[in-house]
Chain A
Amino acid sequence: MSDIVDHSRRQFLSFAGKAGLTTLVAQAVGINLGVVDIVRAQTGKRGVEPFRFAIISDAHLYSMPDHKFDTQLADAVAQVNAMTPLPDFVLFGGDVAQNGTEDQLVKGKKILSELKMPLKIIPGEHDWYLDMGDAWRGLYGDETWSFNHKGVHFIGLNSILVRDFWTETGMTPLERMTVMEMLESPIPGPWGVHEKQLEWLANDVKDLAPDTPIVVFTHSPLWDYYPRWNFQTSDAPEIREILSKFENVMSYHGHVHQTLFNRIGNMSSVAALSTSWPWPYPPVELAFPETRMNRADPSIATDGMGTQVIDLSGSFEALVQYNPFEDSLTPFMRDGFKV
């Protein structure tokens, strides 16, 4: 858990280097990997000043005092604060709260305020549906944002917007929240960023040159992983289309509570570990199955949880390192991987 950041001299497994094998496997099982992009050139002068950022995600804080998830989020904060070098900033991937109550969101803000570096945050479904984001916005600000950092354009979107299922059925806010709390809830259907944010996104990137390094950050994955558990974003194809002019787009997301990598077209996708509990891998075939972590051992209370740190190079290549609280990674993942 402590030797997570000093891997600079090791050889890293890279998906770019594995393109040949992956292509063959993909063809054998009929998966569309967008293989053209796997073999994409690794270099290119995009003017990135190398830096690192960390991701903490899915704290799912409950209201009772001294809950174990409070400690686990605090441990994640301590883990990030102990990284050398320190990340320039931290992204929080949503689901601060479990039930969307203000006390839970306040508790999360308090624990996250111990971070030594700035925090940018987007909402998860557990944060949102009690008051439709009122408390969250009051505490954390806008849920749609972008900023430039050392040559990289970062974009945050609220990807957990669903159609209104509560007005017609006369649900109370608490009932609405309850519906959204359940991963396999059949009521809300697939969520997404919706039209207004798509317009915002198109406008946000319209003047950026194609070689601008782009990082897009959402709660849910920008690809159809397992829609039944909303491991998806319904308008991800539109997002990918808007971002298709860029040479290299990196997507990072929360919600799935597990290690995971995928690539579609010019977009790579990396999932974040949670700090609360790990979710099983859904029964679907993956293009990069080697990015699964070990099956969590329930008798080890924090197995399968942790944080992640991403080092961006001058050519906008990412070294992704998961930092689990316990020994949760397979040998393939242990030293990180390049995106």
Chain B
Amino acid sequence: MTNQKLKIERVLVVSAVAAVLAAGSSWARAPFTDEELAEQKAALVESVALGYDLWHGSRADMTTNGLACGNCHPDTAAANPQTFPKYMTMYGKVIPFREMVNWCIENPQVGTRLDVNGDDMTAMEAYAFYLHRGKEITPGLASEQTTPIVVEYGTGFARTPTGIGVDTKP
């Protein structure tokens, strides 16, 4: 059997399974409506925008020396959230991205760590992951300096000057 033929047959099998699941999915809820999807997207955007502000220093207790995440990580560059969890030498063990954020808050920024389950930490994570959307999830990868993320004009979020970071995109 040729590889080509094998591939086609696999596709057919997968399609058949999907069709059965779709037909028999009476236990699942109906798909989200466009309005619901828009609401969900708006909620994510709000979280990302909050993360953008926090990343650029909007929360005073995250620093005592004036440094913000954005000092060293413009556009979240070299934060590489998609490579977590990974081994970090400062911990001597595998840690999640949220812990790495808190390490930077406590060490270079000499600030107070965020509640790892709080909305602010979620927002930080949302901002970093949003800019890295579409990037391959590669836990443990530590060799690349900067993931080549394409950043649109500004961050893509309407911001007015906050005294910390701004974005003019309407």
Q: A98-B66, A283-B146, A301-B108 are in contact. Are A184 and B75 (CB under 8 A)?
A: yes
A89 within 8 A of B: no
With beta carbons under 8 angstroms apart, the residue of A67, A279, A281 that contacts B65 is A67
CB distance from B159 to the nearest CB of A (A): 9
B95 within 8 A of A: no
Cα(A228)–Cα(B107), bound, Å:
28
Cα(A202)–Cα(B155), bound, Å:
39
A186 within 8 A of B: yes
Cα(A182)–Cα(B78), bound, Å:
17
The interface size of chain B toward A, counting residues with CB under 8 Å, comes to 35
A186 contacts B148, C-beta separation under 8 Å: no
Q: A62-B65, A298-B107 are in contact. Are A183 and B74 (CB under 8 A)?
A: yes
With beta carbons under 8 angstroms apart, the residue of B71, B146, B153 that contacts A186 is B153
B70 contacts A182, C-beta separation under 8 Å: yes
B163 within 8 A of A: yes
B15-59 CB mask vs A (1 if < 8 Å, else 0) is 000000000000000000000000000000000000000001000
| Beta-carbon nearest neighbor of A182 in chain B | B165
In the complex, chain B residues whose CB is within 8 Å of the CB of A295: 78, 145
Q: A283-B147, A298-B104 are in contact. Are A229 and B167 (CB under 8 A)?
A: no
Q: A298-B104, A299-B90, A299-B107 are in contact. Are A184 and B148 (CB under 8 A)?
A: no
Cα(A182)–Cα(B53), bound, Å:
12
Cα(A68)–Cα(B67), bound, Å:
11
A283 contacts B66, C-beta separation under 8 Å: no
B140-170 CB mask vs A (1 if < 8 Å, else 0) is 0000011111010111000001011111110
CB distance from A227 to the nearest CB of B (A): 12
B133 within 8 A of A: no
CB distance from B165 to the nearest CB of A (A): 5
B94 within 8 A of A: no
A280 contacts B66, C-beta separation under 8 Å: no
| Beta-carbon nearest neighbor of A66 in chain B | B65
A147-175 CB mask vs B (1 if < 8 Å, else 0) is 00000000000000000000000010011
B73 contacts A280, C-beta separation under 8 Å: yes
The interface size of chain A toward B, counting residues with CB under 8 Å, comes to 32
With beta carbons under 8 angstroms apart, the residue of A62, A178, A184, A186 that contacts B66 is A62
Interface of B, secondary structure class, is: loop
| Beta-carbon nearest neighbor of B154 in chain A | A186
A278 contacts B169, C-beta separation under 8 Å: no
Chain B CB within 10 Å, residue with most, of A64, A183, A283:
A283
CB distance from A253 to the nearest CB of B (A): 18
B78 contacts A187, C-beta separation under 8 Å: no
B71-107 CB mask vs A (1 if < 8 Å, else 0) is 1111101100000000001100000000000011001
In the complex, chain B residues whose CB is within 8 Å of the CB of A229: 74-75
Cα(A184)–Cα(B168), bound, Å:
12
| Beta-carbon nearest neighbor of B71 in chain A | A277
Chain A CB within 10 Å, residue with most, of B74, B75, B107, B151:
B74
A205-237 CB mask vs B (1 if < 8 Å, else 0) is 000000000000000000000001100000000
In the complex, chain B residues whose CB is within 8 Å of the CB of A174: 163
Cα(A278)–Cα(B70), bound, Å:
12
Residue numbers of B with Cβ under 8 A of A are 56, 65-67, 70-75, 77-78, 89-90, 103-104, 107-108, 145-149, 151, 153-155, 161, 163-169
